[in-house]
Amino acid sequence: MNKGYFYQPSDDSYLLAEVVSHYLTKIQISKRIIIKVLDMGTGSAIQAKNCIDNKIKMSNIYSVDINHYALKEARKIGVRIIKSNLFYKLNKAIKYDLIIFNPPYLPEDKHDKVKDTTGGKYGDETIIKFIKNLANYLEEEGICFLLTSSFTPHKKWMEIAENESLEVKQVISKKLFQETIFVWKIVHK
């Protein structure tokens, strides 16, 4: 990883931001107030910025990343930052109304072993760890938007989600070159 490097927004980031914007606009129309937002794996902080643009208070947005350069980027926009590998250093007493995660989701290969894009040997290892802990940090009826790829195995993490009382529904998909990306809405039942 290059000095000062963090994941830069790409088609996946923009699609996820579009879904989150639509959701936040819909929520504001219905007068529901989002109390706490968790931007997991913040990278460039595009999702945190998107939440601010959609009238979520900076003090209610928590950006989490293992990369301190990404956290420096998030700090510039005034949100709360937490250096952590997924939920590891988060306070279990704090629950979030909305969690947004564009994880590393590609299978490891000899050309791409960077942690910001590679989600492990099969591509789903980071997602599985995330899903196993999601219900502990998501308010009841809280929502998570998760992005995956057609290169990401889906069966195992979806089974885990079901066992954790998480309802998973595909919101949108978009074909990009050789892959399709998906945004999933996960609700804590």
**Rounded to two decimals, what is the model's pTM?**
0.91
Low-confidence residues of the chain: pLDDT under 50: 1-3
User: In sequence order, what are the residues at sequence separation of 6 or more whose Cβ sits closer than 8 angstroms to the Cβ of residue 81?
Assistant: 42, 62, 63, 64, 65, 71, 74, 75
Cβ distance 105 to 124 under 8 Å? yes
Domains of the chain: 36-188 (3.40.50.150)
- Structure-token pair, residue 144: 């998570």
Please answer whether residues 125 and 115 qualify as being in contact, where contact means their C-beta atoms are separated by less than 8 angstroms.
no
pLDDT of residue 17: 98
DSSP secondary structure string, 73-122? HHHHTT-EEEE-STTTTS-TT--EEEEEE----BPPBTTB--TTTB-SSS
82-137 per-position pLDDT tens digit: 999 999 999 999 999 999 999 987 677 766 555 556 556 767 899 999 999 999 99
Contact 128, 171 (CB under 8 A): no
**Which two structure tokens, joined as six digits, stand for 74?**
């998030």
pLDDT for the residue 112:
57
Separation of alpha carbons 28 and 84, rounded Å: 30
How far CA 50 is from CA of 9, 72, 120, 173, in Å, comes to: 12, 17, 28, 20
* β-pair type (138-149, 96-101): parallel
Count the neighbouring beta carbons within 10 Å of the beta carbon of residue 126. 21
